Amino acid sequence: MIVQLKDGSKIEFDNKKSVLDIANGISEGLARMACCALVNGEVVDLRKEIDEDVELSIFTFNDEEGKKAFRHTASHVLAQAVKRLYPNTKLAIGPAIDNGFYYDFDREEAFTEEELNAIEKEMKKIVKEGLEIERFELPRKEAITLMSEMGEDYKVELIKDLPEDSKISFYKQGEFLDLCAGPHLMNTKAVKAFKLLSVAGAYWRGNENNKMLSRIYATAFAKKADQEAYLQMLEEAKKRDHRKLGKELELFALLDEGPGFPFFLPKGSILKNTLVDYWRDVHRKAGYMEISTPIILNKELWLRSGHWAHYKDNMYTTIIDEADFAVKPMNCPGSLLVYKTKQHSYRDLPIRMGELGLVHRHEMSGALHGLMRVRNFTQDDAHIYMLPEQIKDEIKGVIELIDQIYSVFGYKYKMELSTRPENSMGSDEDWDKATTALKEALDEKGLSYVVNEGDGAFYGPKIDFHLEDCLGRTWQCGTIQLDFQMPERFEIDYVGKDGEKHRPVMIHRVAFGSIERFIGILIEHFAGAFPTWISPVQVKILPISEKYHDYAHKVREKLNDANIRVELDERAEKIGYKIREARMERVPYLLVVGQSEEEQGTVSVRSRAKGDEGVSSIDDFVIKIKDEINKKLIIEREVEEN
Active-site residue 361, yes or no? yes
Phi-psi region of 260 (alpha: psi -120 to 50; beta: other; left: phi over 0): left
Active site residue 525: no
Nearest to 77 by CA among 101, 99, 60: 101
The residue ranges of DSSP E strands in 342-461, in sequence order, are 351-360, 376-386, 412-418, 450-452
316 within 8 A of 296, measured Cβ to Cβ: no
| Known active-site residue 381 | yes
Q: Is 383 a catalytic residue?
A: yes
* 106 beta partners: 90
CB 628 within 8 A of CB 621: no
Q: Which of 381, 464, 469, 483 is catalytic?
A: 381
332 is catalytic: yes
Distance CA 5, CA 3 (A): 6
CA nearest to 378, candidates 322, 295, 462: 295
Any catalytic annotation for residue 21? no
Question: In 167-280, at which residue ranges do the beta strands (DSSP E only) sit?
Answer: 167-173, 176-179, 193-203, 212-221, 252-253, 263-264
- Give the residue ranges of DSSP H helices in 132-223: 140-149, 153-160
Pick from 540, 527, 534, 524: which is nearest to 631 by CA? 534
- 600 noted as active-site residue: no
Q: Which one is catalytic: 379, 390, 481, 538? A: 379
DSSP state of 557: H
Among 383, 525, 565, 608, which one carries the catalytic annotation?
A: 383
One-letter amino acid at 206 equals G
Q: Give residue 466's Cα distance to chain centre.
A: 7
* Four-CA torsion 8, 14, 15, 21, nearest 10 degrees: -40
Side chain identity, residue 134: E
Q: Give 514's contacts (C-beta < 8 A, 6+ positions apart).
A: 374, 377, 378, 379
Instruction: Round to whole Å and give the CA distance between 480 and 399.
Output: 8
Per the rule left: phi > 0, alpha: psi between -120 and 50, beta: everything else, 601 is: left
- For residues 298, 300, 304, 306, the Cα torsion angle rounded to the nearest 10 degrees is 70
Catalytic residue of the set 71, 240, 462, 517: 462
Orientation angle between helical segments 266-285 and 515-526, nearest 10 degrees = 110
**Do strands 494-495 and 501-502 pair parallel, antiparallel, or not at all (unpaired)?**
antiparallel
**Beta strands 100-106; 96-97: pairing state:** antiparallel
Q: In what order do the strands lie in the sheet with 296-298?
A: 296-298, 323-327, 317-320
Distance of CA 100 to CAs 44, 69, 216, 220, 521, Å?
A: 20, 11, 11, 6, 21
Q: How many helices (H) and strands (E) does the chain have?
A: 20, 35
- In angstroms, what CA-CA distances link 124 with 316, 518, 547, 594, 635? 48, 40, 66, 63, 46
Element (H, E) at 155: helix 153-160
Given the residues 332, 360, 373, 380, the one annotated as active site? 332
Active-site entry in 17, 72, 272, 361: 361
Q: Are strands 193-203 and 412-418 parallel, antiparallel or unpaired?
A: unpaired
Q: Which of 83, 508, 578, 606 is catalytic?
A: 508
Are the C-beta atoms of residues 562 and 626 closer than 8 Å to each other? yes
CA dihedral 339, 341, 343, 348 (to 10 degrees): -40
Catalytic residue numbers read 332, 361, 379, 381, 383, 462, 508
